[in-house]
Amino acid sequence: MTDLSRYRNIGIFAHVDAGKTTTTERILKLTGKIHKTGEVHDGQATTDFMEQE
């Protein structure tokens, strides 16, 4: 069974092109969850999986 006490959810609300995905990438990098920060404009961000991004 998964230990849910180890998980955290965050929400970032802002207008279009305000840097939400970039901020999320930096948080993931700083907390050690990813080792390389992806760039939004290249479509390589971890949380950038929708075509409209």
Residues 6+ apart with CB under 8 A from 47: 21, 24, 25, 28
Q: Which pLDDT tens digit goes with each residue over 4-53?
A: 888 888 899 999 889 898 999 999 999 999 999 888 888 888 887 666 65
What pLDDT score was predicted for residue 46? 87
What pLDDT score was predicted for residue 25? 92
What pLDDT score was predicted for residue 17? 86
| Cα–Cα dist 37/22, whole Å | 9
What pLDDT score was predicted for residue 53? 53
| Cα–Cα dist 47/26, whole Å | 11
Cα–Cα nearest to 38, from 18, 24, 50 = 24
What pLDDT score was predicted for residue 52? 64
Three-state SS for 4? Answer: helix
Token pair recorded at residue 5: 């006490």
